[in-house]
Amino acid sequence: MKIKAEVIRGGSGLGLILALTLSGCAHDEPTDAERKRCFDRYIREHQAEYPVETLKKTAALKCYS
């Protein structure tokens, strides 16, 4: 990749960030099963501290967003 080499040779931090972005640092999306496990685990871990309805809202934001 000619563009990446020229960007990195420029020596700027922005060039390095651009090169890393172009190289594909993508994260895989969690599956529905992983999201459900996250949701259930969050409620179990904090059920003694907060009302269940509040936990459901917080867990949904944390695990499904």
Residues 64 and 35 in one domain: yes
Residues 44 and 16 in one domain: no
More confident residue, 2 or 62: 62
Q: Which of 4-8, 16-20, 27-31, 56-60 is predicted most confidently? A: 56-60
Query: Which residues, 6 or more positions from 7, have their beta carbon under 8 angstroms from its beta carbon?
Result: 15, 16, 18, 19
Domain assignment of residue 16, given as a range: 1-27
Residues 22 and 36 in one domain: no
Mean pLDDT throughout 14-26? 56
Q: What percent of the chain has pLDDT over 70?
A: 60
Residues 21 and 37 in one domain: no
Mean pLDDT throughout 12-31? 64
Domain count, the chain: 2
Residues 60 and 40 in one domain: yes
Query: Which residues, 6 or more positions from 52, have their beta carbon under 8 angstroms from its beta carbon?
Result: 43
